[in-house]
Chains A and B, each alone.
Chain A
């Protein structure tokens, strides 16, 4: 394949990464923004989503099984996160440093419990539909410009659906935060916790809901990606690292910044991974994050003075 089609393929793969990353990172960003909690266990919620999708599709075969997984996995993971919030985080009174240590513990508990029950194998989940679409490429032939169909350039319908679904869910999240009463209460808590308490906002319930919602979004992202990647008990590490990178570069707690950064990181990760080595892409991204935090703690797109 020549450079042009290769780049386009890398961009398409990057777009799928970006879509899933945007969902996962939006969950992390929401939790950090509203609760000021850095949730290290976020990647494990992602992993649980994928593993639950495998269980559900094993129990109920066919496309309905997958549709059921799309509903059941985020709900169960969200419920688990709410339980973790009430039993652990609430009792630490959301102290930033102690919650990090506790969520690290939670990470190991979830990961190792999955290892004990689900086992160390990577297992595939079949997408409900997965037709392949070959894409044309405009090329200058001996008789002028012509459309060609380079071998290997294409995308599957499932990948397109993933991108579309992620976009739809993010729009729904934005509408939820901007237009509903619960979203308003959440934003009020984010802006000023004490003032919100004074106005009678049940802050603890808002926190539990936010933590559940954030975890549910990670699980949803995982169900969408699991037909492309397989479900494995260690799969949470990469999404966690990438979401961190995205949330920090986009500005901690800022949702639009997070989305922009997700697209940027997803695309560049796809492109760098295709042309160079994936490890190199990750090294560059992690160093970028560290330097952004050191020199521009409000993030590349965040406003100053927050």
Chain B
């Protein structure tokens, strides 16, 4: 109910918001889908990845390169982006899941860094740091121009709703409950006869693929593909959003993304050093509110919050 309410509210916002916030909210919804993907792995399975930018960028570049160099249409480009995200996340998961804890964090960080550097290395095709702007023709899906603000907002809303409802379904399904159990006590889950390694693998591939979907759609809607999206900063941001909103809650990632986006938006008017806010928020959150906003709500008001 609550989740359908949020989607309805976002749909209503489409008709009510002024243009500037309308555009911002479209962006926030795509980024929140990325955060939802991150939350699947971090919030529910308890695996802290520092390399999700790799998956986001796999979707972004899979789509962008397909449209730019292979001359694919928007639909095929999105498919290619999603497929490359699935392949990359399966590869990384197969290797990185052999480690755990701090080593897992560093391995994912290193893979993402290698991916980022690879994008820079092949600057001839990827245009490196500068990035490239998608041709207008490549951004038309089923006759809808995704670069127009109206359709862009609705497309972002569709993506966000799918990711939100998918997360909700996944968490309520037996599969999701096993993931939470792995987070809480892996030994016991293994003793009960579950293959924890396979569950982790599936969670990481699902999370990576969802991140790739967000990346591909982001590139499609905003028409820009650049190496910044593969940098460490874009691995840290979803962690920040999820921590702020509340890890292991379905609504948390959206709340966190919205809050952080406007915090940075407001502060960038005051100073160029807007990442300072991100740093302060990270330190403050780990010190004072490791549960995040929705985590606090769950603790204080509503224990059954999914």
Knowing A102-B282, A109-B279, the reply to whether A97 touches B48 (Cβ < 8 A) is: yes
Q: Is B70 an interface residue (CB 8 A)?
A: no
Chain A, 58-112, CB within 8 A of any chain B CB: 88, 91-92, 96-98, 100-102, 104-112
Report chain A residues within 8 Å CB of B105: 38, 97, 100
Report chain A residues within 8 Å CB of B13: none
Q: Is A48 an interface residue (CB 8 A)?
A: no
Cβ–Cβ contact B280 & A105, under 8 A: yes
Partner of B121, one of A96, A102, A108, A279: A279
Q: Is A222 an interface residue (CB 8 A)?
A: no
Report chain B residues within 8 Å CB of A280: 121
Knowing A286-B117, A287-B114, the reply to whether A115 touches B272 (Cβ < 8 A) is: yes
Cβ–Cβ contact B273 & A116, under 8 A: yes
Q: How far is the CB of B194 from chain A (nearest CB, A)?
A: 23
CA distance A56 to B227 in the complex (A): 36
Q: Which residue of B has the minimal Cβ distance to A36? A: B102
Cβ–Cβ contact A101 & B282, under 8 A: yes
Cβ–Cβ contact B117 & A106, under 8 A: no
Q: Is A289 an interface residue (CB 8 A)?
A: yes
CA distance A107 to B282 in the complex (A): 10
Q: Is A163 an interface residue (CB 8 A)?
A: no
Q: Which residue of B has the minimal Cβ distance to A84? A: B283
Consensus secondary structure, chain B interface: helix
Cβ–Cβ contact A108 & B110, under 8 A: no
Cβ–Cβ contact A108 & B290, under 8 A: no
CA distance A111 to B274 in the complex (A): 11
Q: Is A123 an interface residue (CB 8 A)?
A: no
Q: How far is the CB of A142 from chain B (nearest CB, A)?
A: 43
Q: Is B118 an interface residue (CB 8 A)?
A: yes
Q: Is A294 an interface residue (CB 8 A)?
A: yes
Q: How far is the CB of B11 from chain A (nearest CB, A)?
A: 35
- Chain B 266-286 near chain A by CB (<8 Å), digits 1 or 0: 000001111110111111111
Partner of B290, one of A98, A106, A287: A98
Cβ–Cβ contact B273 & A279, under 8 A: no
- Chain B 113-157 near chain A by CB (<8 Å), digits 1 or 0: 110011011000000000000000000000000000000000000
Cβ–Cβ contact B103 & A286, under 8 A: no
Cβ–Cβ contact A96 & B102, under 8 A: yes
Where the two chains meet, the residues of B that have a C-beta atom closer than 8 Å to any C-beta of A are: 48, 50, 95-96, 98-99, 101-103, 105-107, 110-111, 113-114, 117-118, 120-121, 236, 239, 243, 271-276, 278-287, 290
Subset of 20 A-B contacts with CB under 8 Å: A38-B106, A88-B283, A96-B101, A100-B105, A101-B285, A101-B286, A105-B278, A108-B275, A108-B278, A109-B283, A116-B272, A248-B106, A279-B117, A279-B121, A286-B110, A287-B110, A287-B114, A294-B95, A294-B98, A297-B103
Q: A101-B285, A116-B272, A283-B121 are in contact. List 8 more A-B contacts (CB 8 A).
A: A38-B105, A97-B102, A104-B236, A105-B286, A106-B283, A112-B275, A290-B110, A291-B95
Where the two chains meet, the residues of A that have a C-beta atom closer than 8 Å to any C-beta of B are: 38, 88, 91-92, 96-98, 100-102, 104-113, 115-116, 241, 244, 248, 277, 279-280, 282-283, 286-287, 289-291, 293-295, 297
